[in-house]
């Protein structure tokens, strides 16, 4: 691993810790040349590459970073800690890989993200839902808001990552 400060390939590992329920490792490293410290992360690569079926029927590789970007956009300027956003993205990633073997509809990924956001921040949920549901009118948007007010989120939403009906 190259040092991010001086680009030297020689670094020693100072500390290693499991992350994400043991599915990854966080390593603290020290560059042998400039003596600066940095963090690296390792994850096991999945054997099968999951494809996302987009609305237009095209298929693209599943990208957990794309899920996180959508969550971050919905949470813009909201008091949602970065660790919570990452946790939602990780849960979506784990659940779609568990529930789908080769292909997953983008709509299903969006549903899981929306449910995760609903439990964390209702404004972020509404922001995300406005894109996910593709509201065509103010009345459709208002109907979703009414539903949200009438039925507040349950802590630890139990149906968030259950296997969907296919």
Q: Give mean pLDDT, residues 11-20.
A: 90
User: Look-up: residue for tokens 């939602």?
Assistant: 88
pLDDT tens-place string over residues 59-107:
999 999 999 999 999 998 999 999 999 999 999 998 999 899 899 999 9
The pLDDT score that the predictor gives to residue 14 is 96
pTM above 0.75, yes or no: no
**Which of 34-38, 92-96, 151-155 bottoms out in mean pLDDT, i.e. has the lowest?**
151-155
**Which of 4-8, 43-47, 158-162 bottoms out in mean pLDDT, i.e. has the lowest?**
158-162
Q: Give mean pLDDT, residues 17-35.
A: 88
Burial class (CB in 10 A: 0-12, 13-18, 19+), 76: exposed
């Amino acid at each position: 691993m190259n040092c991010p400060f001086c680009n030297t390939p020689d670094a020693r590992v100072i500390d290693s810790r499991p992350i994400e329920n043991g599915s990854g490792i966080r390593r603290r490293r020290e560059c042998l040349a400039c003596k600066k410290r940095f963090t690296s992360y390792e994850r096991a690569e999945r054997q099968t590459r999951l494809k996302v079926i987009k609305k237009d029927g095209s298929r693209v590789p599943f990208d957990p970073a794309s899920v996180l970007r959508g969550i971050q956009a919905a949470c813009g300027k909201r008091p949602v800690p970065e660790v919570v956003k990452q946790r939602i993205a990780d849960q979506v990633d784990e659940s779609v890989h568990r529930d789908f073997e080769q292909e997953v509809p983008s709509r299903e990924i969006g549903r899981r993200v929306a449910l995760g956001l609903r439990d964390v921040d209702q404004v972020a949920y509404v922001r995300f839902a406005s894109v996910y549901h593709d509201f065509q009118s103010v009345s459709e948007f208002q109907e979703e808001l009414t539903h949200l007010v009438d039925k507040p989120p349950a802590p630890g939403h139990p149906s968030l990552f259950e296997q969907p009906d296919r």
